[in-house]
Structure 1
Amino acid sequence: MFRLCAPEVRLRGKYLDLVHQSQKATWRRAMKEVCLSLKCCHFVMKPNFITR
C-alpha cells in the first residue's frame, strides 16, 4: 500500500510546489503591472492638478 502511495504523494508535492512557484511569479508580474500603471496614472494626473 505505502509503496504504491509514495510516488503519488511525491508527485503531488512537486506539482503543488510548481503551482506555488507559478502563483508567486504571476503575483509578482501582476504587482509590477499595477505599479507601472499607477506610476503612469500619477504622471498623467500631476499636470492636471497643477493646471487646475
Structure 2
Amino acid sequence: MVMDGLKKRGFPLIGAIFLGVGVVKLLQGGGWIVWFLLAFLFGAFSLFKSNKDGGDAA
C-alpha cells in the first residue's frame, strides 16, 4: 500500500512543507527560490521519484 511505502522511505514532512510554501510564494510573485532550495535540502523532491522496484511486494 501507499502508506507502507512512505513508512519504509520516511516521509519528508519538513521538505513537503517548504515545497508548499515555495509554490505559494511562486504564485504570489515573491522570493520562492529559497523555499525550493530548502525543500530540496530536506528531501521533498524524493516524493516525485518513480518506483523502480517493480511494484509492491504485497
TM over 0.5: no
Higher relative contact order (CA 8 A, sep 6+): 2
Q: TM-score, normalised by structure 1?
A: 0.37
Higher helix share: 1
Q: TM-score, normalised by structure 2?
A: 0.33
